[in-house]
Amino acid sequence: IAFIKEVYCSQGEEQIELKQETDTCMVVPVDEQVDHTESEPNRNQVIFQETAEAENQNQERRKPFSCVICKKRLSFKSVFDIHMRTHTGQKPFSCVNCLKSFIRKRALTQHMMIHTGEKPFSCVTCGKSFSRKQHLTGHMRTHTGEKPFSCVNCGKSFGYKLALTQHMMIHTGEKPFSCVTCGKSFSQKPHLTKHMMIHTGEKPFSCVNCGKSFSEKQHLTRHMMIHTGEKPFSCVNCGKSFSRKQHLTRHMMIHTGEKPFSCVNCGKSFCQKPGLTQHMMIHTGEKPFSCVTCGKTFIRKPDLIQHMRIHTGEKPFSCVTCGKSFIRKQDLTKHMTRHTVEKL
């Protein structure tokens, strides 16, 4: 390897630079000479600026569409148009069934599967089907037990990244989704969406048998078991069956006598946490469920729903013998005893 050794000798107003590897002399004017000890940082700064400018030019060529609002750059006009809708709020793709609107056409396509029931992605292990591939991917972890997303605070692991993100809000107390009507905040957007239906009265899921509508699909699915008589959850002790798993879990505590949730004020114990939560409102006086028509407040949501029927005139519980309808199920049950006595 040849090393360059720089040697300078004076010749009037000029200097001669001798380069050992070539054994030649190069005449360098004094005014073009560089101070090697002082100019190196400046030279690096110039190189850095030139590199940054070149990178900016490359980015402008790669991503020619720039958002004037948030300065984000995008590669394609179609993607740019979609991005701009996040600022304008424009949702040009609407569902013909429930009129819900979306920013992207793909989101509408996925939404339509709610109405059509299409679920093209199936689990090879249990056969359960899903409308979206990522839902199947997440579901597969229930079989493998894989939970790749862990909380750095408490170590709890999750099968979905979204589940971890939502869990982290427990530690931070963050609730970024707020209701514009009443100001109530939520940690998850779906919870806000569901809450908004209280104000709008929207119930997009309807029963084909009786026409009753629901704000959530799982509520409709649960309701359908009334018509089918399906009760897939059975008690191993007494054989009693239930349409909902949580009802079975609650029933099992009759056999075990377990009441793990206790009131710190009076010591009363409950089988379920919601029972304790509702009980605590007796001590605090809190009544979080309000009637939008008359302003009356309630501790429990079911009590509000039942109260609303006074205003709407809805009587969902009908007698199969005489056709008389009732607001409350217990009123129908009481009424049915009359027919039983008449038969005797």
Nearest to 331, CA basis, from 306, 297, 312: 306
Cα–Cα distance, 59 to 75 (Å, whole number): 9
Task: Point out which residues pair with 93 in neighbouring strands.
Answer: 102
> What does 76-119 look like in DSSP terms, one character per residue?
-HHHHHHHHHHHH----EE-TTT--EESSHHHHHHHHHHHH---
Residue-level pLDDT at 124? 92
User: Does 266 score more than 90 pLDDT?
Assistant: yes
Indicate the pTM of the whole model: 0.34
Mean pLDDT calculated for residue range 35-47 = 62
Q: How confident is the model at residue 61 (pLDDT cuts 50, 70, 90)?
A: low
Pairing of strands 241-242, 261-262: unpaired
Residue-level pLDDT at 76? 81
Phi-psi domain of 187 (left: phi exceeds 0; alpha: psi -120 through 50; beta: other): alpha
Q: Where are the chain's structural domains?
A: 71-143
For 121, the 3-state DSSP assignment is strand
Least confident of 70-79, 101-110, 256-265: 70-79
Name the amino acid, one letter, at 244. Answer: R
Higher-pLDDT residue of 1, 56: 56
Q: How confident is the model at residue 33 (pLDDT cuts 50, 70, 90)?
A: very low
Cα–Cα distance, 199 to 12 (Å, whole number): 93
Residue-level pLDDT at 204? 87
Cα–Cα distance, 289 to 300 (Å, whole number): 7
Nearest to 97, CA basis, from 14, 203, 26: 203
Residue-level pLDDT at 30? 45
Least confident of 75-89, 115-129, 155-169: 75-89
Q: Which structure tokens are listed for 73?
A: 């750059």
User: Does 21 score more than 90 pLDDT?
Assistant: no
Q: Which structure tokens are listed for 157?
A: 């692991």
Query: What CATH number was assigned to the domain covering residues 71-143?
Result: 3.30.160.60
Per-residue model confidence as pLDDT tens digits over 185-211: 988 888 888 888 888 888 888 999 898
- Report the percentage of the chain scoring pLDDT > 90: 12
Q: How confident is the model at residue 39 (pLDDT cuts 50, 70, 90)?
A: low
Per-residue model confidence as pLDDT tens digits over 283-340: 998 888 899 999 999 988 888 999 999 999 999 889 988 989 998 888 888 998 888 7
> What does 313-341 look like in DSSP terms, one character per residue?
----EE-TTT--EESSHHHHHHHHHHHHH
